Structure 1
């Protein structure tokens, strides 16, 4: 059970995640999809068979913790909008599709399964932002060799909007059922995909003058042969 909090009212909501979905290659424009494919091709990742693709990850990989543990030093985060199905309706949050880049070279599905998916506790109701969705912006910062650098930044206009993304997933309505959680795609990386000691992400709603933020540290476990 994960406890979320409505950012404006402070009301807490309990969600039992039963299905965790990662929307990959979810760009709105083919040029942006091709850019992300080339980013990952440079580190050995085979291009997708079609776009978007919806990967399933174990529900218990969702976490609001401020530290995750990973095997080896070849993983990295990706800022993503998160849609959360709750008994009170669909919620919007911010999260990271943390991914093992070495495993990604031979299996994208496997690479996503072996890393926790950090998400922030604070959320907004989807209904509060759906009418100005394209105004939202995402940013991420990575701490690399002790220095925090801007890693990703841009408006969500580069990604499929909720209605179209959920339609392609196979849903007829713009909402998720309680217990369904979907990470909705990421932005191009500034300076190339690389590992970090810590990762911070922000979702900004400039129309209402508010933000959602979450950060986490990465604890690297040794690879023992």
Structure 2
């Protein structure tokens, strides 16, 4: 069960919710050049090109977590910040999540790599209707720790570079609906300096119109690989 603080413009509340369907939208950008850039980032670490874009990966909903510490197997995993969309009984809600992925396994199979790692998600949500009118103004960012730098900017970009969540829902396969209990990670922006692991991952969804942010931090804990 996930616990969310839902921050609506008219009313806020706190709810428990257990999604039963999780979709990870891959290569969900609007700009073909930006998509190509991200594909090349992944090719640089041995990940094959996708057969089509966008791609909708189904992963276990139980992978969603709000824990501060996330256990991963081996040193070859990393996070990436993404807008997070959830369908509840009273409508759609927006937060942020990290598509934490095993990059070594990604060279074998992308769907497999996404299933191997937890997907950290924020404890706060905004009502979709409160931000949909200025969605393209929102900004996502992430920071990592590296070589003694306590907070190094890792990603920054407008969600305007990504497909609108309504377009992603509209593009879902015919046998997949986005009904109550469904959740989706809605794509990411390029990283700065190449994809790499970190012992701390901080992420933010910033709304410059309403001057508010959703933030979340988690610490990947590396488990040893025993042969």
User: In structure 2, how many angstroms separate the alpha carbons of the residues matched to 1:7 and 1:217?
Assistant: 25
Question: Paired residue for 1:35?
Answer: 37
Alpha carbons of structure 1 residues 10 and 143: separation in structure 2 relative to 1, 3 Å: farther
Question: Paired residue for 1:129?
Answer: 131
The Cα shift of 1:176 comes to 3.7
User: In structure 1, how many angstroms separate the alpha carbons of the residues matched to 2:221 and 2:18?
Assistant: 26
Question: Paired residue for 1:151?
Answer: 154
SS in 1 for 2:170: helix
- The farther-off stretch of 157-166 and 184-193 is 157-166
User: In structure 2, how many angstroms separate the alpha carbons of the residues matched to 1:88 and 1:176?
Assistant: 14
The equivalent position to 2:193 in structure 1, one of 188, 191, 200, is 191
User: In structure 2, how many angstroms separate the alpha carbons of the residues matched to 1:179 and 1:37?
Assistant: 30
- In structure 2, stretches of 5+ residues that fail to align are none
User: In structure 1, how many angstroms separate the alpha carbons of the residues matched to 2:186 and 2:28?
Assistant: 7
The Cα shift of 1:143 comes to 1.3
Question: Paired residue for 1:218?
Answer: 220
Question: Paired residue for 1:7?
Answer: 7
Question: Paired residue for 2:171?
Answer: 168
| Structure-to-structure mapping, 1:92-111, within 5 angstroms | 92-111=94-113
The Cα shift of 1:14 comes to 2.3
Q: TM-score, with normalisation over the residues of structure 1?
A: 0.95
The Cα shift of 1:10 comes to 4.1
SS in 1 for 2:153: strand
| Residue pair 1:83, 1:181 contacting (<8 A) in 2 also | yes
Alpha carbons of structure 1 residues 110 and 170: separation in structure 2 relative to 1, 3 Å: closer
Q: TM-score, with normalisation over the residues of structure 2?
A: 0.95
SS in 1 for 2:39: helix
The Cα shift of 1:13 comes to 2.1
Question: Paired residue for 2:118?
Answer: 116
Deviations 1:135-154 (A, max 9, x none): 00000001123422100001
- In structure 1, stretches of 5+ residues that fail to align are none
The Cα shift of 1:170 comes to 4.3
Question: Paired residue for 2:180?
Answer: 178
